[in-house]
Each structure stands twice: as C-alpha cells, then as structure tokens.
Amino acid sequence: ILNMLFKTINYSKLFNYTKYNLSTKTKKQKIDFFNPTNDHLALREMIKNFVKNEVDKQALEYNKNEVFNINLFRKLGEFGLLGITADTEYGGSGADAVSAVIVHEELSSSDPAFCLSYLAHSMLFVNNLAQNGNHEQKLKYLPSTCSGEKIGGMCMSEPGAGTDVLGMSTSAKLSEDKKHYILNGSKMWITNGTLDGKTTGDVYLVYAKTGSGRGAGDLTSFIVEKDMPGFSLGQKIENKCGMRASMTAELVFTDVKVPIENVVGTVGGATLCMMRNLEIERIVLAAMSLGIAKRCIEVMNNYSIERKAFGKSIGDFGQIQKAIAESYAEFMAARSYVYNIAQNLELDSYGNGLDADGVKLFAATMGKRVADRAIQVLGGYGYVGEYQVERLWRDSKLLEIGGGTNEAHHKNMVRDLRKFHKEIL
C-alpha cells in the first residue's frame, strides 16, 4: 500500500543516516498480529525512527510553552501520513485502519499532544472528507491538506453541546438566492482551531443545523475556510491539564456565507457522515492510549532496573513487579482488542459502533491507570517533566473525555448490546 510513500522518502536526509534501506530491513522481521504485512512493519519502523530522532527531543519544550510545532507537523506530509487513509488520486497514501492505528500508537508514545493535532487533521478532516465528500471537493481540498500545505480540523462541540450533539445550536440557513448557506453560532474545544494563537487554522468541516428539530436529518456538514468573512477565532484555550502542544480554540461564525458547493454529502445527511467517522476516530484515540501506556511501561521498567534501594534494584521488590507486570498485561489486552477491531474495519462502512466505543473505553482507562502507576514507581522523579510520565499522565485524561466520554461509551454500548445481543453474544 505504501510503496510509493517509501520510494519518495529521503531517509539519509531526514535522519542523517548514510544508508537506510527500510524494505530490506523489515523483510527479516516476523509479521505478527500488530504488523499484519511487510508494509505495516515498514510503516511502524519509519515512525519509530521519526519519533526517536525528531519528536522525542521537542516534546517537553513545546508542551511546556503550549506551542504547536507546525514545522515538525508538516514533515508528516513529506511521509504521506497527513493523508494516510485518503486515496492516492487525491494525494493520500490509500492505507487502511491498521496503518492509522500504527501511526497514532507510535506518535503518542512520545508526544500525545502532537499526535492529537495529527488526528484532528488526518482523521477528522482528511479522512472525513475522503469518505463523505464528492470528487470536486476532494480535488480542491485534499491535495493541499495531504501535503501539509494547509492544516485543518473538524467542528462539532459547542459551549453548550458536547455529547448531546443533536442539541447543537449553530445554524445554517439557505440564502435567498439559494447559492449560499449562512452560518451563525460558535464551536468549542476545537483541536487545530488555531495554529498560532492569533488566527484560525486553514480549513474545517463544520456541523450545523439546517433543520429545526433534534432529528438525525437536521444536521448538515460544511467546508469552511480561513478568511471567509464572519469566520473568526473566539479564543485560544490556555492552561489545559494536558495536550498542551496541541492548540485548542473556540471558533465563531457570524453570518458566514458558505457556498452551496461546500455542502458535504447531502443536506440533512451529516449524522451518518459523523457516525461513520466517529468509528475510526475512537479507534485511533484508543491507539493513542496504547502509545502512552507503552512508553510508561518502558520508563518504569528501565527505572526499576537502574534505581537502587536497600541494596538492590527496586524491580526486585514485589510491589514494583506488580505495577509493571499488571501494566504490561493490561496494555497487551487493550492492544489486542484495538488491532482486532482495526483489522476488520472498512473505512467506508458504518455500524461498528459497539467495538469502536469498546476499544476507546477500555484503552483510555488502561492508559491513564498505567501512567499513574509509572509515576508511583518513579516516586519524586515521576512527578516532574524530565521523566515524561508526568506529562503522559496529564495527557491521558483527555482520552476519557474527547471523542466521546466514558459515560457516552457506556450508554452506546449497552444500547447496542440490548438491540443486537443475539447476533453479538
């Protein structure tokens, strides 16, 4: 799938290697459940090297300063990762859900905030438009977003409507000449809502009400671009608990004239588009929790060997062994669940909500629990930023809220189990 991608990357330039033949190296490795093909192995190896050489060294600084590393982000476009699931016809890599999971797991093992901005762009905008837009829209918007020339996101949540998505108040009214929709309202907690803290990002998929009720047919999706008159940055959200190097903002729409050509799908058809994209969103959010847990296990395992107390390594004590062993077992259980669902997900399908909710619910709580154990194992060192786990612990909390709260997953899963239990169980 990714052969074109690998041929175009200059590894010696990116990583200062004199020679680096990725395809030859990975052929010697064993394909397994988490790397189903040689292409998946090659992708993981590439991201691991990128993380080691580029992402790790900037994570603490950019999160401390609450700044988005836009230059590093655009390097992902050189890899073909910003449009990883989009068709090659539109500048994407045409990869599958497992590939998307691999990227999110590996990036989040170093900098979940950086990965969250990647998710908002590659999944919430690019994949969403790739699956739900028409040919003309894809030709117009996907090449520049797949390359990283433009950076986008998705606008759904509002100051007064999160989980209750049908309760949104942002409206879209057809103009008298029937050539535009007029958008009014505001959106809150928008990842990539700003890139510099002063202006909006470049392009967004915006959900708004075109009907007057709370039905599934009352929502429509629109493409809104930076500098459209009336579209502005309300505020950059400061001092977040975690994910600080990912910009979060309120966006305001005041009589924004959106051309009718910018309607994605059909008028009143956005709920299906939303639910289809929520499935891959929740799966890659679960993959982010895997990355957090994996790095935390690595850190506490290494620390338990190096740290001495009472004349021996603290890893020789049962309390520390319990923390590490249980963390690894829970991580592997979550990882197996995530990759199993990803391997069976068709990106253009709908109806996979039970396990999309399930993997995120299970992995998010696991990731936070493992990060908490890592801090405890490291003691005072775990409480400061130098050892990473403090930041990963703060970042992990968002994954129990964003993309669906734990409570929303409970509700959705029980509803689906009641409805389909004979087919499922």
Q: What is the pTM of this model?
A: 0.92
What is the Cβ-side half-sphere exposure of residue 47, based on CA atoms within 13 angstroms?
27
Alpha-carbon distances of 114 from 44, 63, 92, 150, 235, rounded to whole Å: 17, 9, 20, 16, 20
Buried b (16+ CB within 10 A) or exposed e, 34-50: bbbeebbbbbbbbbebb
pLDDT in tens, the chain (425 residues): 444 443 343 333 333 322 223 333 444 456 799 999 999 999 999 999 999 999 999 999 999 999 999 999 999 999 999 999 999 999 999 999 999 999 999 999 999 999 999 999 999 999 999 999 999 999 999 999 999 999 999 999 999 998 888 899 999 999 999 999 999 999 999 999 999 999 999 999 999 999 988 888 999 999 999 999 999 999 999 999 999 999 999 999 999 999 999 999 999 999 988 988 999 999 999 999 999 999 999 999 999 999 999 999 999 999 999 999 999 999 999 999 999 999 999 998 888 899 999 999 999 999 999 999 999 999 999 999 999 999 999 999 999 999 999 999 999 999 999 998 888 88
The pair of structure tokens assigned to 255 is 């009589």
- CB 236, CB 201: distance < 8 Å: no
Q: Whose CA is closest to 84, among 146, 152, 7, 22?
A: 146
The residues carrying an active-site annotation are: 281
Q: What is the dihedral of CA 325, 330, 331, 337, to 10 degrees?
A: 150
- CB 285, CB 233: distance < 8 Å: no
The pLDDT value recorded for residue 383 is 97
Three-state DSSP string of the chain: CCHHHHHHCCHHHHHCCCCCCHHHHHHCCCCECCECCHHHHHHHHHHHHHHHHHHHHHHHHHHHHCCCCHHHHHHHHHHCCCCCCCCHHHCCCCCCHHHHHHHHHHHHCCCHHHHHHHHHHHHHHHHHHHHHCCHHHHHHHHHHHHHCCCCEEEECCECCECCCHHHCCCEEEECCCCCEEEEEEEEEEEECCECCCCCECCEEEEEEECCCCCCHHHEEEEEEECCCCCEEEEEECCCCCCCCCCCEEEEEEEEEEEEHHHEECCCCCHHHHHHHHHHHHHHHHHHHHHHHHHHHHHHHHHHHHHCEECCEEHHHCHHHHHHHHHHHHHHHHHHHHHHHHHHCCCCCCCCCHHHHHHHHHHHHHHHHHHHHHHHHHHHHHHHCHHHCHHHHHHHHHHCCCCCCCHHHHHHHHHHHHHHHHHHHC
- CB 320, CB 377: distance < 8 Å: yes
- Give residue 390's region: left, alpha or beta (phi > 0; psi -120 to 50): alpha
| R_g (Cα) of the chain, nearest Å | 22
Q: At residue 259, what are phi and psi to the nearest 5 degrees?
A: -55, 145
- Give residue 342's region: left, alpha or beta (phi > 0; psi -120 to 50): alpha
The pLDDT value recorded for residue 2 is 42
The pair of structure tokens assigned to 207 is 């959900």
Q: Whose CA is closest to 126, among 101, 152, 149?
A: 152
The pLDDT value recorded for residue 16 is 34
* CA dihedral over 361, 46, 109, 37, signed as positive or negative: positive
The pair of structure tokens assigned to 19 is 């020679």
In angstroms, rounded to a whole number, what is the distance separating the alpha carbons of residues 49 and 52? 5
Q: Whose CA is closest to 118, among 108, 133, 128, 109?
A: 108
Cβ atoms within 10 Å of 76's Cβ, excluding its own = 23
Q: Burial level of 107, CB count in 10 A (0-12/13-18/19+)? A: buried
The pLDDT value recorded for residue 29 is 57
